[in-house]
Chains A and B, each alone.
Chain A
């Protein structure tokens, strides 16, 4: 089992308030465990131990069950997560079009393995199954924005351009990156 990290957001009043609202919103609702975990992760970026305990409590379930659910689904993270997520699609169309080479190049470029964060906590690379843009394979998603018809070189170029935009502008998320995002 993954080691659970301890929370380091205690001083963030705003996050705490959002979390309270979330717990309140789902109070007494059946089947709330998954949306509670999703909501908590959206607020904190991952699921620290004390958050897990409070989610379990809020859903009226033992911590063991909340952990069971959180570790079952690919979406949930028990460790801090870098700010920007680079997802290499490894769906079938991407696989047969050379996704493995793209992953390799990006891993090399960022100097981390898939699933790891860069030391500055700005980027992480994930290998995912299908983002639904098979017609544009091979695809890499940076946050919620897909980039298609890539080669290993182009993929590095796209990430390089994104970095330049992010790091050049005081670490703000570029506008385009959030357009397709959920509210």
Chain B
């Protein structure tokens, strides 16, 4: 592919920013931002700016922008979902540049922000999440982060290819096509120490080397991007695709060049409509610019990308099941070997990488393997994106060097547990992972260390649970998930997960015995060793870790018939404390079964026979009069 007479054209933006806008407003339009109402905020900014006569144009792409102008850009996920909608504002005036970020912006706040800050030059401090160099309570969320994978996410407009090109996009692919042989690309990725970010942590360079080494009968090899982010608590792939799809295309093209693939597939969950839409827009633009397709940048290298929408099956995140699904079959895994590198999609050599893995590849090519490998910890190099969610104050996406401790991530970046509640556990790795207790929080987050705990780093989901969550219920939740998602091909998984779920349900209903705990553990062991693929093989992990670190809670359920978190309704009783009850009737109004009676201003009474233990009265009472035991 190298050494031909073709001239390879360096990619440049077609429609560059002609002027750096004096007022530059960037609004988070990731799924989280949109859920918080950021589209309405963006609209309000556009409308309100149009009302001011100082603003020349909204998007300063054309030459007409002279004097003061403002640009309003919708970006991907800016990270701190807890404070969405986030609005970042840059002002460049008289040679100086200020940058602030507003949090939880509503359309009603927009006129004041424009009036006081954009026109008046005085930021409104009470609404600020970030205030230039001045410390705010949110600084810890940002300070520890280092964004390699998400380098453009939340900054540029994901629907505009020129934004990516302007930020240096597709230069890594250009470098690869002009300066590197496929073997050099593989070597670079190997030396970087990059490991698969989808969960298994397999070295990426080695995977590429395998796929490059296998012969193909007709010259066809495939390169697949796995965007079937199934862990119900991880959203980094979703955000990476929504925030900068071109980085993933570029990573795929570099990988395809390295292994000699001419056709690529992106397999993305149908549950991510926004990501799918931006991929479609991006692919079309990249093809039009000659960055994906035939003779990329005028070179001999051709690589086509096709988008496949997943149809809703967790098991399709498993690589052999995913390929079955692309082939139009039911997504059922098959035995390996042969591995996909030898015989994959339509029996051709195939390489599969996760979205996050591919998104960081261009950075490694541009900055060099050493730069990546200099970050991280022991055998886990570079940075990793973690999705912080659940009962943590600062929910969002954080990219940090591997090896940071769990405590630093949850209490430093995440700001600790919501509402001053007591930390109970952090769930890592979703249905294939486990719950880790407070005593393990000082462990560094790297693949090997976390594996030893019985959990896994997985795709990077970290769900914090507090004293109000029940460990048995959490384990039951994951088993109900894997049981539903088991493809049914092999009996240990199909039947075993069902039996484990039955046992956990029995315990949650207060009908469990100590013997059931032993049986549960034994069953978990059988499912682990007997299952065909990783779905079944790791499905028992939530149970193993729960029993290992929180056995006392299981014993309370079976021996004392108590659920200390008050989640397992069969084990909970609600009553009204007559001393605290003011007789406000708030609970009477929310009770769905009419179980609570009493006159206004007199202590109410709860009829246990009618009570369905929904907890509505408990949530409603402002006088701490409804007791749960």
- Give the number of residues in B that approach A within 8 Å (Cβ atoms): 68
Residues of B within 8 A of A32 (CB): 328
Decide yes or no whether A145 CB sits under 8 A from chain B. Answer: yes
The proximity string for A residues 31-48 relative to B, scoring 1 for CB distances below 8 Å and 0 otherwise, is: 111110110000000000
Q: Mark A105-127, 1 if CB is under 8 A from B, else 0.
A: 00010000000000000000000
Does chain B have a CB within 8 A of A139?
yes
Closest to A94 in B: B232
* Cβ-defined contact, B39 with A133, below 8 A: no
Contact status B84-A136, CB under 8 Å: yes
The answer on a CB contact under 8 Å between A180 and B34 is yes
Contact with A along B225-249 (1 / 0, CB 8 A): 0000111111100110000000000
CA distance A129 to B313 in the complex (A): 10
Task: Say yes or no: A183 contacts B388, CB within 8 Å.
Answer: no
- Chain B residues in 8 Å Cβ range of A134: 81, 233-235, 387, 389-390, 395, 461, 463
Is the C-beta of A159 less than 8 angstroms from some C-beta in chain B? no
> With an 8 A cutoff between CB atoms, is A14 at the interface?
no
- Counting CB contacts under 8 A, is B308 at the interface? yes
B55 adjacent to chain A (CB < 8 Å): no
Cα separation A1 to B616 with both chains bound (whole Å)? 38
Residues in B267-312 with C-beta less than 8 Å from chain A: 269-277, 280, 308-312
With A135-B32, A135-B387, A180-B277 already in contact, the answer to whether A69 and B328 are too (CB < 8 A) is yes
Measured CB to CB, the nearest residue on chain A to B237 is: A132
List of B residues within 8 angstroms of A69 by Cβ: 328-330
Min CB gap B265→A, angstroms: 9
**Chain B residues within an 8 Å CB radius of A104:** 614
Cross-interface CB contact of A93 among B35, B271, B463, B487, cutoff 8 Å: B463
Q: Does B326 contact A (CB under 8 A)?
A: yes
**Chain B residues with CB below 8 A from A35, complex form:** 308-309
Q: Is the CB of B331 within 8 A of A72?
A: yes
Are B389 and A73 touching (Cβ within 8 A)? no
Write out the residue numbers on chain A whose beta carbons fall within 8 Å of the beta carbon of B477.
92, 95
**In the bound complex, what is the Cα–Cα distance between A35 and B328 (angstroms)?**
8
Partner of A68, one of B232, B271, B330: B330
Contact B34 A31 (CB under 8 A): no
Contacts of A96 in B (CB 8 A): 390-391, 463, 465, 469, 474
User: Inside 8 A of A68's CB, which chain B residues have their CB?
Assistant: 330
A78 at the interface (CB under 8 A from B): no
Q: Does A63 contact B (CB under 8 A)?
A: no
Majority secondary structure, B binding face = mixed
Q: In the complex, how many angstroms separate the beta carbon of A176 from the nearest chain B beta carbon?
A: 7
Interface string of B371-403 (1 = CB under 8 A from A): 000000000000000011111000111000000
Contacts of A128 in B (CB 8 A): 271
- Chain B residue numbers with a CB within 8 Å of A152 are 616
Which B residues between 320 and 347 are near A, CB-CB below 8 angstroms? 325-331, 346
* A94 nearest CB across to chain B (Å): 8
Contact with B along A75-111 (1 / 0, CB 8 A): 1100000000000001111011100010010001000
**Cα(A35)–Cα(B39), bound, Å:** 30
Complexed CA–CA distance, A86 and B492 (Å): 34
Q: Is the CB of B273 within 8 A of A38?
A: no
Interface centre among B40, B238, B273, B430 (most CB of A within 10 A): B273
Asked if A34 contacts B233 (CB within 8 A), the reply is: no
Structural contact, B327 and A31, CB atoms closer than 8 A = yes
A142 to B84, CA, bound (A): 19
Q: Which of A72, A90, A97, A145 contacts B390 (CB 8 A)?
A: A97
Is B427 engaged at the interface, CB distance under 8 Å to the other chain? yes
List A149-183 residues whose CB lies under 8 Å from chain B. 149, 152, 176, 179-183
Give Cα distance in the complex from A128 to B313, angstroms. 11
**Nearest CB in chain A to that of B235: its residue:** A132
* B314 interface hit (Cβ, 8 Å): yes
> Which partner residue on chain B sits nearest A139 by CB separation?
B35
| A130 interface hit (Cβ, 8 Å) | yes
By the criterion CB–CB under 8 Å, are B312 and A75 in contact? yes
A52 at the interface (CB under 8 A from B): no
Q: How far is the CA of A131 from the CA of B84 in the complex (A)?
A: 17
Q: Are B277 and A129 in contact (CB under 8 A)?
A: no
Q: Is B592 an interface residue (CB 8 A)?
A: yes
Alpha-carbon distance between A133 and B310 when the two chains are bound, in angstroms: 18
Q: Find the A residue at minimum CB distance from B481.
A: A129
Closest CB in chain B relative to A1 CB, distance in Å: 14
Contact of B35 among A30, A33, A38, A146 (CB under 8 A): A146
A35 to B325, CA, bound (A): 10
- Find A37's partner among B311, B388, B396, B478 (CB 8 Å cutoff): B311
- Chain A 136-150 near chain B by CB (<8 Å), digits 1 or 0: 110100001111110
> Which residues of chain B from 594 to 615 have a CB within 8 Å of any chain A CB?
614-615
Q: Name the residue in A93, A128, A129, A145 with the highest tally of chain B Cβ atoms < 10 Å from its Cβ.
A: A93
Q: How far is the CA of A148 from the CA of B396 in the complex (A)?
A: 13
**Contact partner, A34, options B35, B311, B465, B614, Cβ 8 Å:** B311
Report if B82 contacts A (CB, 8 A). Answer: yes
Q: Do A135 and B397 touch across chains, with their CB atoms under 8 A apart?
A: yes
Q: Is B501 an interface residue (CB 8 A)?
A: no
- Tell me the bound Cα distance from A115 to B604 in angstroms: 37
Within 8 Å of chain A (Cβ to Cβ): is B483?
Answer: no
Q: Are A73 and B313 in contact (CB under 8 A)?
A: yes
Known contacts A68-B330, A92-B430, A97-B390; is-contact A135 B395 (Cβ 8 Å):
yes
Q: What are the residues of chain A within 8 A of B270 when measuring CB–CB? A: 38, 75
Find the B residue at minimum CB distance from A105.
B616
Task: Report B-chain residues with C-beta under 8 Å of the C-beta of A23.
Answer: none
Select which of A59, A147, A181 is within 8 A of B328 by beta carbon.
Answer: A59
In the complex, B472 has a CB within 8 A of chain A:
no
For B592, list chain A residues within 8 Å (CB): 108
Residues in B neighbouring A59, C-beta threshold 8 A: 328
Is B357 interfacial (CB-CB < 8 Å)?
no
* B31 at interface, CB cutoff 8 A: yes
Contact A91 B390 (CB under 8 A): no
Alpha-carbon distance A97/B481, docked complex (angstroms): 17
Does residue B36 face the partner (Cβ distance < 8 Å to A)? yes
CB distance from A102 to the nearest CB of B (A): 12
B430 touches A136 (CB 8 A): no
In the A-B complex, list the 9 residue pairs whose CB atoms are closest, starting with the nearest: A135-B81, A74-B312, A92-B233, A73-B311, A33-B328, A91-B232, A146-B35, A93-B389, A130-B232
9 A-B pairs besides A69-B328, A93-B390, A130-B234 with CB distance below 8 A are A37-B311, A90-B232, A93-B389, A96-B469, A130-B230, A131-B31, A132-B269, A144-B274, A148-B32
Task: Give 11 pairs: A residue, B residue, CB < 8 Å, sorted on A.
Answer: A30-B346, A92-B430, A93-B233, A101-B615, A129-B481, A132-B269, A134-B390, A135-B396, A139-B35, A148-B32, A180-B274
Q: List the interface of chain B (C-beta within 8 A of A).
A: 31-32, 34-36, 39-40, 81-82, 84, 229-235, 238-239, 269-277, 280, 308-314, 325-331, 346, 387-391, 395-397, 427, 430, 461, 463, 465, 469, 474, 477-478, 481, 485, 487, 592, 614-616
